[in-house]
Structures are given as structure tokens and as C-alpha cells.
Amino acid sequence: MGEPATGGAGGHTPRRPRSSGPPKTAPKPASQSASKPTARRSGPAAPPPVAGADFFVCDVVDVIPKDDMASMEHPVFSLSTRPDRRVLKYVHGETMVEITPSVKGLATIHDKDILIYCISQLIAAQNRGEPIAREVHMKAHDLLVATNRETSGDGYRRLREAFERLSGTRIVTNIETGGTETTHGFGLIDAWAIVRRTRSGRMVNVTVTLSDWLYRAVLTKSVLTLHRDYFRLRKPLERRVYELARKHCGRQREWRVGLEVLLKKSGSASPRRVFRRMVRDMAEEDHLPDYALALGEDDLVSFRPRRPGLSGRAEESGGPLLSAGIHDEARAVAPGFDPHWLEQEWRDMWVARGRPALRSPDRAYLAFCRTRAAAGKA
């Protein structure tokens, strides 16, 4: 067996610590999807959750994909399929993001699959009432299968390269996560390790330590559900445009954005004329999950949900629809607040109150925004 390869954390294959008190009964897992139940790996049953565990073990094979809202909004990941060593800086309103690559290049939108997998596992565990931790242990094969990647030798090699880019890419930002604005520098992951390899060199068990910034998004559930077909999108721009549509359109009836703004938000390095052609091709192919895209003659790009009741979170299916442009009104009544974050809180409150019928969802949402702004906290 080969020596452990590490990117900041290493060591032997860990075991779950034993509880010093009486055994605790694990909560019965809640269904993650009405049509597709959660599946666990075959084999011995996982030990009961341990309070205060130092690490989290991914023991569920099939979970609903979740993505953090901050990196969905801002162009943190490179769309290039070749090593991208540019230093990127993005300023929008009061938000600033500066991304600096390592010699391996910037983390790519496909590298983000690892973070989505980790976030999805942690959110699923939270929903089951289990303890979680920043250090995530997983089977490499499960990660590759869940994210629709090859399980060949090349697949494992590319997975290691993704770990290196994620840990090497440094970010300086004042993006809020969990209602807290912090200006500091960090990596997307603090550490990674291959804690066991086969004789052929393929990794078996891997460990990823998420940054505090991403972990805070998990703890506060600042995440959105992705369509499972997200991992089937092979073109980087398709993935990025879907993320933006998911973040901005959500469950509104329509989201409109100018081509120039979409180009900036996507992080694409393509000239405007090339970007316009790519967006037009995307609209003609019409295979984005959840949303139909259209490009008008005035360079206005519109997104419409393919079906009503798209879920911001799994438990919100069938929730109220908001009008296009409502977030602009929310910014006016609650200046300095993220309207998408406020929408998530409003929907959580609506669910907690038993999903009451709303005569005007727009007015109810804006009233909530005013109240939160008056309270002076997000």
C-alpha cells in the first residue's frame, strides 16, 4: 500500500470516537426526496452519532445536491479548462472578491463538485439531527459516482489535481455568510489528505477540511438545492449560468438580466460577442435543468422556471411564488441586506408557521424585509 499523500492533513485512517456515556439512538433519517429515498452503503450499520466529534464521515450514498449561496452569486471559480493563473478581482456594489491562484491554477467550476458533495452530506446530516464537523471523511469512489465523474485511473488523478487547486486558490472577500461580513483571506479548503491508497495508486479514503467561511454557510444553511442533472452539465459556462439562474430566479416567475451583467457575474473571460453567441447556443439547445433561457434582441437574458413550485429547500416544495424584480424592491426597503438571504429566512418562517395561504406573497415578503431591516440584523 502506498504512502499517504497529503495536502495539509494526513495520518492513519481514523475511527469514530466512542461515547463515554450510554449509547444514543440515532434519529430516524428523514426522506431526502419524495421520489427517491436516501440510500446508505451496504455493510455494517454506521455507529450512532457522537456529540462533539472531531470529524464527519459521509455514510450516505445518495443525498440531494446543495450549494452555498455566496459562491453561487459571485464568480469564485474559473470556467477555463486549462490552467488559469490569472489574479481575478470582482467588485459589485459593496462586495469585493479577489481570487489568487497557486502554481497549479485557479480552482475550476468542476473542482467545485467536491465542495458541493461535502456541503450536501453535511446538510443531510444536519437534517437528520446528527453532529457535523469541518473535517469530512469520504470514499473517493462515492464522490466520483455522485458527481458523475469517471472512476478510471484518470478520474482519480483528476480528483487529486482538484484537491490541489482547491487548497491552493486563495480568496480575499467581504462576502457575508451566515449573516456575518468578514474581510479576510482563506483557501476554499484548509486541508486535504489521501489516507489510504491501493497498490495500483488509486485513492480509497480521502479527507477534506472545509474553510471556516464555507462551514459557516453550512451551519446557517445558507444553501440552495441543485437539480441532480447539474453534474451532467459538462460545459463550464452552462454550470455557471445555471447557478446564477438558481440563485436569482429561484421561485420567481422570471428573472431578467442584461447580457453585460450576466457576463460579469459569470466570470467568463470571453469577449462580449463570443459570450452572446454561447448564450444564444445555450438557449437554442435548451437543456438547462429547471430553467428555460431566452436571449432577446436587446441583449436582455430572461430565465423562467420550467414548472411552478421550484424548491429553494427540499421542505419548501409548493411555496409562494414571487414576482420578477421583487428583489430590487427588497433592496429599496432593506438597504444593505442581501434580498436572497432575506427570502430564505422569510420562507423558513412561512414553513414554520404551517405554510399559511398568502393573499399577496410579494407584500408579505417585503413586509418581512422591512421588519428585519428595522431590527438591524440579517
Task: Look at residue 218 and tell me whether its pLDDT is greater than 60.
Answer: yes
For residue 176, what pLDDT band results from cuts at 50, 70 and 90? low
State the Cα–Cα distance between residues 135 and 192, nearest whole angstrom: 9
The C-alpha torsion from 236 through 117 and 289 to 249, rounded to 10°, is: -90
The tens digit of pLDDT for each residue in 69-101 reads 778 878 889 999 899 999 988 887 777 889 999
Query: Residue holding cell 429515498?
Result: 37
The tens digit of pLDDT for each residue in 115-129 reads 999 999 998 888 888
The tens digit of pLDDT for each residue in 256-310 reads 999 999 999 999 999 999 999 999 999 999 989 889 999 998 999 999 988 654 4
Across 213-240, average pLDDT: 89
User: Hey, where are the domains in the chain?
Assistant: 5-14+48-225, 319-378
User: What's the pLDDT score for residue 106?
Assistant: 94
Task: Look at residue 46 and tell me whether its pLDDT is greater than 60.
Answer: no
For residue 251, what pLDDT band results from cuts at 50, 70 and 90? low
The tens digit of pLDDT for each residue in 297-345 reads 899 999 998 865 444 443 334 578 887 778 888 888 888 777 777 887 8
Task: Look at residue 143 and tell me whether its pLDDT is greater than 60.
Answer: yes
Secondary structure (3-state) at 326: helix
195 versus 360: the higher-pLDDT residue is 360
User: What's the pLDDT score for residue 327?
Assistant: 80
For residue 224, what pLDDT band results from cuts at 50, 70 and 90? confident
Across 139-143, average pLDDT: 90
Across 132-156, average pLDDT: 89
User: What's the pLDDT score for residue 18?
Assistant: 36
Task: Look at residue 45 and tell me whether its pLDDT is greater than 80.
Answer: no
123 versus 33: the higher-pLDDT residue is 123
User: What's the pLDDT score for residue 94?
Assistant: 76
State the Cα–Cα distance between residues 242 and 79, nearest whole angstrom: 13
Burial of 34 (0-12, 13-18, 19+ CB in 10 A): exposed
User: What's the pLDDT score for residue 316?
Assistant: 39
Across 212-216, average pLDDT: 88
**Average pLDDT taken over every residue of the chain:** 78
Q: Indicate the residue type of 366.
A: L
State the Cα–Cα distance between residues 203 and 164, nearest whole angstrom: 14
User: What's the pLDDT score for residue 107?
Assistant: 95
User: What's the pLDDT score for residue 349?
Assistant: 85
Strand positions, DSSP E, the chain? 5-6, 56-57, 66-68, 88-92, 95-100, 135-139, 170-173, 176-177, 180-181, 184-187, 189-197, 203-210, 223-225, 255-258, 291-295, 300-305
Neighbours of 295 (CB within 10 A): 19
Show the cell assigned to 158.
483528476
State the Cα–Cα distance between residues 30 and 125, nearest whole angstrom: 10
The tens digit of pLDDT for each residue in 360-376 reads 888 999 999 999 888 86
User: What's the pLDDT score for residue 179?
Assistant: 64
User: What's the pLDDT score for residue 220?
Assistant: 84
> Pick from 245, 266, 341, 248: which is nearest to 77 by CA?
266
User: What's the pLDDT score for residue 71?
Assistant: 82
User: What's the pLDDT score for residue 344?
Assistant: 76
State the Cα–Cα distance between residues 152 and 378, nearest whole angstrom: 46
> Pick from 80, 58, 76: which is nearest to 112 by CA?
76
